[in-house]
Structure formats: C-alpha cells, structure tokens
Amino acid sequence: MKGIHQKILRINLSDKSHRLDCRDEEFYRTWIGGRGMGAKIIYDEVPVDTDPLGPENLLYMSGGPLSGVYAPATGKTSFVCKSPATGGYGDSNVGGHIGPELKYAGYDALIFEGAAAEPTVVVIDDDKITFQSAAYLWGKGTFETEKILKDELGDDFQIAVIGPAGEKLVYIACIQHDFGRQAGRTGVGAVMGSKNLKAFAIRGSKGVPVADAAALLEHGKQAFANCFAKPGFEEWTPMGTAGVTNWVNEIGAFPTRNFYTTYFPEHEKINGEALLERILRTDKGCFACPTPCGKYSSAAGVLKDGTREETFQVLVEGPEYETIALVGGNCEIASIEEVAYANYVMDDLGMDTISGGNIVAFALECLEKGVLSKEQVEGRELRFGDLASVVYLSEIIAKRQGIGDILAEGVKIAAEKFGHNSQHYAIHVKGLEQSGYEGRNAPAMMLAFMTADIGAHHNRAWAITHDIAVGVDVFEGKPEKVVELQHIRPFFDQMGCCRLQWVELGFELENYPDLFNIVTGEKLTWEDMMHISERVYNLTRMFWVKHMPGFGRSWDWPPPRMIEELVPTGPSAGKKISEENLNWLLDRYYEVRGWDKNGIPTPEKLEQLGLSFCLPDLK
C-alpha cells in the first residue's frame, strides 16, 4: 500500500526518548489513517482507569494517505485521546499545514506518551528529534508563542502550541496551529498541557510515496478545475463559513441567549456580510485548498468595563460561523468587531470558542437566575450582550481563577456542582457543549448531536440541511440519514482531507475513491470506504462502553432545555420534539446501526465489522 511510510513516531516525554512503531500494511488497510488509526491505538493502549490528564493517556496526531498530495484540500489532521472534557473517546480536527509536514518528515502519525518533568518544546526535523526547555514560553499566549518559535526555528517549521488554558488543564483547551487554526474540541489542548508540552514543531524534506504519480497529477488537475467550476464556488468562498449565518437564523436554528431561543434579531450585525464589508482583510486557506474559508480580519473598537474604557485593535483569523453563533448570538454580542475581539481573546488563551461561548452563556444565565451571586464574580455586573463580561469570564476560565476554576471543567460538571436546577441551562451531550445549530425544530440535527461519538458536535453529521430539504416535521428516514452522514463525514478525517468541497461545492464523492486508489494503489470502492468508516464508528462507541461504567441510552439524551421548553421566538416559535419522538428516533437509529435498545453494539455487529477484539468489553 502506497501513500504511507509505515512509520509512526512515538515520543516519550517522561524520559525524552523516541522510537518508531512500524505496522504492517493490513493495519493501514483496516484503519486507513487519521481518527481511524488513532481510535484503534487508544482503544488498545489507554487503560480503562486512565485519568485523561494523567501520563498514561496518549496524544495521537495524524493526517491520512491523502495528506500532502496534489489534490484539493489535503491538509486535515486529527488529534485523538481520551477526552478530559467527557471522559470518553475524544478527537479534534485541524486544518493548516502540520499534517502534510509530518508526512514530509517521513511519518504517518505522531504519538506523545508520558509527561515531561518541565515545560518542553519538541522539535522534529526529519529524523532528528530534540527536546528543548519551554520555561521561557510558559504562560504566554498562543500567538506570541508561535511567533517566537517561528523566529527561532525558521518559517519552514510547522508548529502546534497551547496557551494558558492548556497549561492550566482547562477541559476546553485547544491546540493552535498556523496563527488561528485550532483543534478545538474535546480538550486535546489540556492533554497536551498535562504532558508539559507547550509546543511541537515539524519540518520535513521527504516526499509522499504515491502509486501512480502521473495519474495523480492528471486527476489532481481535473479535481481542482472541477472545484473552481462548481456553481457554489463564487458564492461560498468570499465569506467562508460565516456565510451561513443568515440561513441558520432564518430557519430558526441560531443559538441565542444560551440556547433559550433560536433567532437573533441583530444577526445582520454579525453575519457574513458584516464580516466582508467591515473587518475582512484577506482570505486564508489550508494546504492545497481551492476554497479558502479562513478569513483574516482586522477589528477595532472600545472595550467598556464598568467605568473603564480601553480601545482594542486585533488581527485574527475569523470569526467563522461557529464563533459567530456561540460567542455572538449565544452571548448576544451584536457587533462583528466585538465577536472578532472575543475570538482573538479565546484563541490567544487557547480555548475552544464553541465550548467557550457555551460556558460563558451558561455562566451569564446562572447569574441572571440567581444560581451564582455577584460576589462570586468579584462584584461585577455581568450580562448578556456585554463584551467585557465575555472577556472577563473567558480569562478567569482560562486561568482557573475563582468561579472560573469550576467553569473550566465544562457546563456538565459546573451544573452538577452549582445545583439549583442549573442542569437546565447546561447545553451539552455526554459532557461536550453543543455546537451552533439548534435542534428543537430539526429532528435529524438533534439526533446527530445525541449520537455523535465525541458529544454534541456538528461535524459528524451536519443533518440540518436534510431536515430543511424533507421537512422539519418529518421523522421517517432521518435516523437512516444520520447514520449515512456519520459514515461519510468522518471518513474524510481518515483520508486526511477536508469535507467542505463536497459539502459546499457539491464536489462529487466519487472523486475520493479515485484519488485514494491512485495514491495508494488499492482498489477500494465507496462502499468499502463506508464499511471501514462504520467499523471506526462502532469502535469509538465501544471506547465509551469500555471506559464509562453504565454507558448506554441515557448518555444519548438531549439537555433538559431541549426537551422541556418550547422555542419562544422566531421561525421555530412553539416547537420542540416530544420525548415520544426522541425515543422513536433513538430506537430506529439503534436498529439501523445494529445496536441493542440500550445503544450498545451487539456481538453480531462487532464480528461483522471485524471488531471481535471488543467482545470482552461488552461485559
């Protein structure tokens, strides 16, 4: 099998050693790359009682067989670990250039083991691995850290860093790369921080072994031309993901005021047009991207903090849609400049803006409802719609100061500690805060959040378009569609490429088996790929079964607000999904998947997928 080096670099931070893990080709055929190989490795090697922030947890990073080759958007990289945010399976995906650079250095994947005795930077320069002190970087923000290392090592190194949130083991800490790209979800930055790993840098000079280089060159040219010719190219590229803001608001799915409602009347102040007209400076794309969704913005304004005012001016990549939704609408910030500034603050602290926006909004509602007192936030007047409130809460969370020490562990744990019905305001599934699409009037999207294998994240099945296409009141066929999407979308993470060309442009799925087979020399059909993806989805489900006592159906249930409250305003006013219908959706979903009524894969399903090694963990 081509497209791989058959080399996984394992770095032990405890004793500053490294070694090669050379798997046979069958391992790669079975798990492909990215999250597939990562899920298998952590399933096998992370013990059941492992503390996600302990040295026994692994931090795995990999692209896939398509990483770094001449094809559209082959720059995606997965980080995999046992998640501190949820305690279960965790992964997060990042764009940029670091995945291809790892491939050019001669490795298919990178695994960090153990924990360094002091803050450390690891430098991977082809076959040369060195360990440097990061004491002088500890406490610095992500932007300054990456710039210092670029200046010291050279601009040709690709670098990943954490900020203060990762150092303080905040459960929503992210890993930043390329001055604005984040592996944001599931707390991967906290795992990096727990290992005293402030940053790692990679430079490679090797090529990617390709089965048919001439065919790849020709097919790659056609694939890029195909992307440029799609009708959606001119429409989608200028605003990137921010361009969906109007649509999500108009269908009544835009999270507003801690998911209290689904329509933000001031959305035009923070939408894609506002970004394009007021703050956008240039586009930014990942490796080999024909449709650069990254938007470098310059935002200026005034931060009013009580009687004190100070001006701000920042350069930041973004804000993209999820930040607009969770920091904008969900916290009721009605200025694109202010959303961009909050985006910059969270990025520099090294915090996921999806979970960050959720937690800030949760805290604001807890203050509003009397769950928290003014004294617990140093006597401050915190409120929705106030940038200073968002910035203050972000900073105390990232630094684990005062009440921020509890909020740093996410809304699920914070609500358990706060009590007083605050669980009602905690919007999460399995402990992961929900991303920026409301589901009370979108059954497929609600089911996608309920059953996503890392918690309430949209990238496993962005099913809301199906809800709109067939009707939000239709339930039949939606579990089948969610399962289909949960097989299609994660397979991109295994190949090491971006799904947006398919999602936004309609770049045909049939292109991917062709590209994969040209690179690897294999003869996989799309059906073969979906079978492999189903195998991985069942394996990640079994990670939860193995690691979380009592795991089952109750873990797939939406938060109380989504069940008990009708949407009060906007296009979805008066809507929610009944418990009867939610149970029907789960029953049918489990049936389609071949799982039992408790949501556990059956022995027959595991054996069918080549997962018989999981059978002992069913007990």
Instruction: Determine the pLDDT at residue 497.
Output: 96
Instruction: Determine the pLDDT at residue 234.
Output: 87
Instruction: Determine the pLDDT at residue 307.
Output: 75
- Residue-wise pLDDT for 59-90, tens only, equals 999 999 999 999 999 999 999 999 999 999 99
Chain mean pLDDT for the chain: 97
| 275 pLDDT above the threshold of 80 | yes
Instruction: Determine the pLDDT at residue 279.
Output: 98
A 10 A CB-CB count for 323 gives: 27
Distance of CA 532 to the CA centre of its chain: 21
Q: How far apart are CA 172 and CA 206, in angstroms?
A: 35
List b or e across 336-352, with b for residues whose CB sees 16 or more CB atoms inside 10 angstroms: bbbbbbbbbbbbbbbbb
- Pair 72, 288: CB distance under 8 Å: yes
What percent of the chain shows pLDDT beyond 90? 97
Q: How far apart are CA 360 and CA 397, in angstroms?
A: 9
Instruction: Determine the pLDDT at residue 438.
Output: 97
What is the arithmetic mean of pLDDT over 501-510?
92
What is the arithmetic mean of pLDDT over 188-209?
97
Instruction: Determine the pLDDT at residue 514.
Output: 96
What is the arithmetic mean of pLDDT over 42-58?
98
Instruction: Determine the pLDDT at residue 194.
Output: 98
What is the arithmetic mean of pLDDT over 477-496?
96
Residue boundaries of the structural domains of the chain: 8-203, 238-432, 436-618
| 16 pLDDT above the threshold of 90 | yes
Instruction: Determine the pLDDT at residue 231.
Output: 87
What SS3 state is found at 332? coil
What's the topology of domain 238-432?
1.10.569
Q: How far apart are CA 412 and CA 425, in angstroms?
A: 10
CB neighbour list of residue 122: distance below 8 Å, 6 or more residues apart? 11, 13, 112, 129, 130, 131, 132, 197, 199, 200, 201
- Residue-wise pLDDT for 304-322, tens only, equals 988 789 999 999 999 999 9
Domains 8-203 and 436-618 share a fold: no
What percent of the chain shows pLDDT beyond 70? 100
Task: Grade residue 560 by pLDDT with cuts at 50, 70 and 90.
Answer: very high
H or E stretch covering 111: strand 109-113
Instruction: Determine the pLDDT at residue 293.
Output: 92
List b or e across 150-184, with b for residues whose CB sees 16 or more CB atoms inside 10 angstroms: beebeeebbbbbbbbbbbbbbbbbbbbbbbbbbbb
What is the arithmetic mean of pLDDT over 403-429?
97
Instruction: Determine the pLDDT at residue 38.
Output: 98
Q: Is 617 exposed, middle or buried (0-12, 13-18, 19+ CB in 10 A)?
A: middle
Retrieve residue 427's tokens.
């919007």
Retrieve residue 215's tokens.
């065919």
What is the arithmetic mean of pLDDT over 217-241?
93
Instruction: Determine the pLDDT at residue 619.
Output: 79
- Pair 457, 435: CB distance under 8 Å: yes
Alpha helices in 154-194 (DSSP H): 164-167, 188-194
Retrieve residue 531's tokens.
């079978």
Instruction: Determine the pLDDT at residue 306.
Output: 81
Instruction: Note the pTM of the prediction, 2 decimals.
Output: 0.97
| 232 pLDDT above the threshold of 90 | no
- Do the strands 120-125 and 175-177 form a parallel or antiparallel pair, or are they unpaired? unpaired
Q: How far apart are CA 220 and CA 233, in angstroms?
A: 17
Task: Grade residue 618 by pLDDT with cuts at 50, 70 and 90.
Answer: very high
| 325 pLDDT above the threshold of 80 | yes
CB neighbour list of residue 519: distance below 8 Å, 6 or more residues apart? 2, 3, 65, 66, 69, 71, 208, 210, 211, 216
What is the arithmetic mean of pLDDT over 445-471?
97
Retrieve residue 618's tokens.
């069913």
- Neighbouring C-alpha atoms within 13 Å toward the C-beta of 595: 23
Peptide bond preceding 319 in cis form (omega within 30 of 0):
yes
CB neighbour list of residue 357: distance below 8 Å, 6 or more residues apart? 323, 325, 326, 327, 328, 330, 331
Residue with tokens 């913005």: 297
* CATH code linked to domain 436-618: 1.10.599.10
Instruction: Determine the pLDDT at residue 235.
Output: 85
What is the arithmetic mean of pLDDT over 85-105?
98
Beta strand spans in 191-307 (E): 197-203, 280-284, 294-305
What is the arithmetic mean of pLDDT over 26-52?
98
Pick the CATH number of 8-203 from 3.60.9.10, 3.40.50.720, 3.40.50.10860, 3.40.50.1100: 3.60.9.10
Strand partners, 123: 130, 201
Range from 17-21, 144-148, 444-448, 499-503 carrying the lowest mean pLDDT = 499-503
